[in-house]
Each structure stands twice: as C-alpha cells, then as structure tokens.
C-alpha cells in the first residue's frame, strides 16, 4: 500500500510540474519544424524550474534535436515533454551551446533516454571545471529540484571549433567564435534557414551579465562574428526571438559601450570606482530588464579584467 501511495504521489507531482511548465516556456514556431522555447527573463526559481533562458527544438525524420538541456533533471523533463508535444519524437541529440548551468545540467536525463550529448571540447572543459559548484549553488535556489542532478558533459567532445552536423537531412553548424558569457560559448547556425540560435552571445529585452567567468572584450568580438553570418532570425540566449538590428542595439552596442569605456579608463589608470561612476549613466540601455541590478557590476568586472590585461 505504501508503494502504491508513493507512486500516486509521484504521478501527481509530475502532473503539477507539467501544468507549471505551461507558464514557464513560450513556444515560438519559426517554420520548417524549428521552434524556440522562450524562458522567463526573471531569475531562477522553483516555479520556473531554473528555465530562465531560451532553448531550441529542431524536428527531423530521425528524431528531435534539442539545443541546451536545462539546469536540472526536473528542468530536463519539462523540456523533454515540450519537445515531444512539438515533434511527436524523442530527443535524439542534445547540443550544448555553453557551460552556464541552464545550458547543460539536464544532460544526464537525456543521456539516460539514449540521446547523444554534443558539445565542443572548449565547452566541455568549462562544464567539467564548474559543474559541481553550479549544482551546489543552484541547490540554494531550486532546493529539492536539484536532487539527482549530476554533471554529465558530452563524452565525445568535438575538438574543432566549427562542426557541421547532419541528422535526418537537417544540416546545422556548431560554432565557437570567442569566449563570452562563459569560456567555450558557441552558437548553432542553420545556414539554409538563416536562423541563429545564439546561446549566450546575444541577449535582448534584458541586460546581459558580465560575470567573473565572462570576458567582455572577446564577447564583443564573438558577437560581431555571429552577426556577420547575417541571420534572418535570431533565437537569443535570453529574450524574444529577434532580428539582427535588435541584437545589435541591445547586446552589441552595450558590449561596445562597456568595452570601449573601460579600456580608455584602464589605460588612464582611473581606478574601478571612477570607471563605475563614469559609465553609470547609460540611457540607451536603461530600459532593459535587470539594468539597475547588473550594470554597475558589469562595468566593475570589465574594468578589473581590462586593468589586469586580460
């Protein structure tokens, strides 16, 4: 009887998760079996399962391709359910575009279902270095949702920085341009459809975050190379599906503002406090969500890295 009750409780909890997922991810159909799953721009919470980022789904005759795996086994199950709703197929490939928690910590769920985990060697190196610490940090925010989640980087990391992959007649490219939000960040490019799934190279609607792992200078270079592909549509790492013009205004121009400003001040040895105060007024970007929370820290970290010559 106890086992039956536990099974029933598990089923109820799974159904509750499924209901909650409907308000967490918004589906944007991009045509020809390509979908964006748009997550919230708020922080990670138990209610959004840490799915505060964007994910890509590509349907093929041989199975579905999922771009990024969520931050936990729970989040991965939510993504898995959405993929099956959209394609009627299991996930055949999971492609990781980066090493931040919500890009890859759900890999283990999909690997257990038989999916192939695909990532560049640069990305895997960062995942391997940070994985356990990321899980410990997320346990403070997501509580028991992190139970059972273990780091599961790709077991066959791809050495070349540009990989052409084909599944079921669908061709895509996994490309690294430069370190950005995290070392080893990459994009998925669909050349025929001219759709760019940018990972954390591009943010819109909310301010990007320059973290201790981030390099604003190389991030700007990576952004410029990504836009040189001339995408017709972009699935950014965060925010709504957009075009190149919006990506330029809200990511490229912001990175240029921070990089150029901190470079000049670092060359003058002005000091980090002066840099933060000098660059604090940025009206072109103050409308972006999280601006007041992140901008000063972004300038601080960019300046310190610039001053150190990195």
Q: Is the pLDDT of residue 299 over 50?
A: yes
Residue 59 lies in domain: 21-243
Structural domains counted in the chain: 1
Q: Read off the pLDDT of residues 26-50 as tens digits, 9 standing for 90 and up.
A: 999 999 999 999 999 989 999 999 9
Cα 173 from Cα 240, distance rounded (Å): 22
Question: Is 255 within the bounds of a domain?
Answer: no
Cα(296)–Cα(310) distance, integer angstroms = 19
Give the count of alpha carbons within 13 A of 101, CB side only. Answer: 23
Phi first, then psi: give them for residue 138, nearest 5 degrees: -70, -25
For 250-274, write each residue's pLDDT tens digit: 999 999 999 999 999 999 999 999 9
Sign of the CA dihedral 263, 269, 273, 279?
Answer: negative
Give the pLDDT confidence score for residue 23 in this predicted structure: 79
Report the DSSP beta bridge partners of residue 55: 37
Greatest Cα pair distance in the chain: 74
In a domain, 224, yes or no: yes
Q: What is the rounded CA–CA span in Å between residue 241 and residue 187?
A: 15
Q: Which residues contact residue 92 at a Cβ distance below 8 angstroms, ignoring those fewer than 6 apart?
A: 60, 62, 63, 64, 65, 115, 116, 167
Q: What is the CATH number of the domain that holds 36?
A: 3.60.15.10
Letter string b/e over residues 138-174, b meaning 16 or more CB atoms within 10 A of that residue's CB: beeebeebbeebebbbbeebbeeeebeeebeebebeb
Average pLDDT (88-101) is: 98
Residues 15 and 21: their CA atoms lie apart, in Å, by 10
In a domain, 108, yes or no: yes
**Sign of the C-alpha dihedral, residues 108, 110, 116, 117?**
negative
Q: What is the mean pLDDT of the chain?
A: 93
Asked, for residue 111, whether it belongs to a domain, the answer is: yes
Task: Note the pLDDT of residue 102.
Answer: 97
DSSP alpha helix (H) spans, the chain: 2-21, 73-87, 101-104, 107-112, 121-142, 216-227, 244-247, 253-267, 272-278, 291-307
78 lies in some domain = yes
Is 178 within a domain? yes
Helix (H) or strand (E) holding 37: strand 34-38
Dump pLDDT digits (tens) for 199-253: 999 999 999 999 999 999 999 999 999 999 999 999 999 999 999 999 999 999 9
CB 54 within 8 A of CB 36: yes
The mean pLDDT of 92-111, rounded to a whole number, is: 98
Angle, helix 291-307 to helix 216-227, in steps of 10 degrees: 110
Q: What is the pLDDT of residue 22?
A: 62
In a domain, 63, yes or no: yes
Instruction: Reduce the DSSP state of residue 301 to 3 states and report it.
Output: helix
79 within 8 A of 67, measured Cβ to Cβ: no
Asked whether residue 42 is domain-assigned, the answer is yes
What is the per-residue pLDDT for 42? Answer: 87
| CA distances from residue 216 to 18, 144, 253, 310 in whole angstroms, order as listed | 37, 34, 12, 10
């Amino acid at each position: 009887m106890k086992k039956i009750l536990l099974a029933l409780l598990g089923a109820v909890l799974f159904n509750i998760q499924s209901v909650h997922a409907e308000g967490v991810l918004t589906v944007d159909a991009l045509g020809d079996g390509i979908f964006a799953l748009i997550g919230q721009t708020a922080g990670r919470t138990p209610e959004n399962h840490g799915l505060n980022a964007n994910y890509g789904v590509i349907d093929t005759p041989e199975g579905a391709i999922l771009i990024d795996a969520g931050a936990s086994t729970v989040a991965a199950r939510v993504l898995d359910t959405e993929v099956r709703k959209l394609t009627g197929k299991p996930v055949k490939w999971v492609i990781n575009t980066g090493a931040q928690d919500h890009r890859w910590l759900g890999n283990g769920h999909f690997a257990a279902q038989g999916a192939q985990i695909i990532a560049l060697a640069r990305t895997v190196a960062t995942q391997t270095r940070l994985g356990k610490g990321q899980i410990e940090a997320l346990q403070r925010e997501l509580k028991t949702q992190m139970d059972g989640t273990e780091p599961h980087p790709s077991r066959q990391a791809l050495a070349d920085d540009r990989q052409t992959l084909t599944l079921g007649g669908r061709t895509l490219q996994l490309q690294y341009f430069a370190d950005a939000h995290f070392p080893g960040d990459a994009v998925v490019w669909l050349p025929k459809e001219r759709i760019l799934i940018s990972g954390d190279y591009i943010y819109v609607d909310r301010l990007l975050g320059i973290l201790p792992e981030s390099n604003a200078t190389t991030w700007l270079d990576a952004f410029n190379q990504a836009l040189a592909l001339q995408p017709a549509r972009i699935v950014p790492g965060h925010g709504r599906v957009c075009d190149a013009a919006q990506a330029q205004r809200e990511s490229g121009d912001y990175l240029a503002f921070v990089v150029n400003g901190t470079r000049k001040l670092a060359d003058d040895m002005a000091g980090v406090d002066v840099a933060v105060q000098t660059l604090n007024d940025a009206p072109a970007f103050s409308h972006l969500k999280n601006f007041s929370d992140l901008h000063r820290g972004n300038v601080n970290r960019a300046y310190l890295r610039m001053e150190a010559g990195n």
